[in-house]
Amino acid sequence: MPDLTSGLFLRFVGRLRDDGTFTLDRGWETPRITEPVTGTPGYRLELVDREGERILWAPVRVDDGECRSAGGHMRSSRVVAYLPLRPEGAGVRFGNDDYVFYERTFAPDRPEVGWLDASVSGDSLRLRWHARHPENVTFDVAIVQDRRICRMLMDSSELEAAIDLPRIPLQGRCHAVVLATDGLRSATAASEPFVLPPKAPRITIISPEPDQVFSEDEGFSCIGHAMAPEGHSLDDESLQWHVDGVALARGTRITFCGALGVGSHLVELTWRDARDGVRIMVRDRTEDERAWKKIVTAPFRQ
């Protein structure tokens, strides 16, 4: 077994199904092993030369399959290995004592990627980048703010993208990160910072539901909340409930509305200037009584 304590390693990851099908996830080069691998007996990852001859091998951890396919009949096991890289290496081969699950060659160098533009234009964020690699590469793009990462693009073959601003749950100073990968090795680049415009909070009324019907002598609970564009809850002190424009309660996510008159009514929840509203219907009590009487007496009319 080669030395796994120093040098440059290829982090090899993917999923192996019960039928021997292997799906490669995004790998990358790394100078250190972040999760030491205790190999599963019988499995190995080999570094091969251009003739397909083995140069060295590394242990592979194949976790017990806990994730099942959509049909629920086939397990999928996570595969992790760290393969030392050597200048003469030209490919990888993953298998066990009986079968080769995956093999392919790779380019001498990892992909190169850099930014041309990342700026807000109108209602969208315009992104352009460049990349160089002898093999086909795909790109993932994320918008990053401090420790928040919002993945906006996956497995794209294009060198540009326009992302609608409402799709980005961030505001203020951010930057974009593009990942270029050939499957085995990856490279990333961060753009210059840009500023996303302010976004209104998201106000949600959970109850009552739109077009919900109540009897004229029936009260109901009002439940809702306010969320910042970044995803955290906003303070309750600025919440206000209104029914047909009349204040019902403030400073709370939950309140109770007493019986209303017959007809249509608008229930609104506001947080400062942001609002959400649902329209409900209150029916005449006699109509409910007739409907209930019809249900109760139906078996006796048969």
> Could you report the per-residue pLDDT of 102-149, keeping only the tens digit for each?
999 998 888 999 999 999 999 999 999 999 998 889 999 999 998 889
**Predicted local distance difference test score (pLDDT) of residue 244:** 94
**Predicted local distance difference test score (pLDDT) of residue 300:** 45
Give pLDDT < 70 ranges for the chain.
1-6, 65-73, 286-302
Q: Determine contact, residues 230/148, Cβ cutoff 8 Å.
A: yes
**Predicted local distance difference test score (pLDDT) of residue 51:** 94
**Predicted local distance difference test score (pLDDT) of residue 296:** 46
**Predicted local distance difference test score (pLDDT) of residue 219:** 92
Q: For each of the domains in the chain, give its residue range(s) and CATH number, in order of start.
A: 9-105 (no CATH), 112-196 (2.60.40.10), 202-286 (2.60.40.10)
**Predicted local distance difference test score (pLDDT) of residue 256:** 95
Q: Is the sign of the CA dihedral 153, 154, 158, 159 positive or negative? A: positive
Short-list 244, 261, 255, CA closest to 220: 255
Residue 22 identity (one-letter amino acid): F
**Predicted local distance difference test score (pLDDT) of residue 159:** 96
Residues 6+ positions from 301 with CB-CB distance below 8 Å: none
CA atoms within a 13 Å half-sphere pointing along the CA-CB vector of 262: 6
**Predicted local distance difference test score (pLDDT) of residue 284:** 81
**Predicted local distance difference test score (pLDDT) of residue 67:** 55
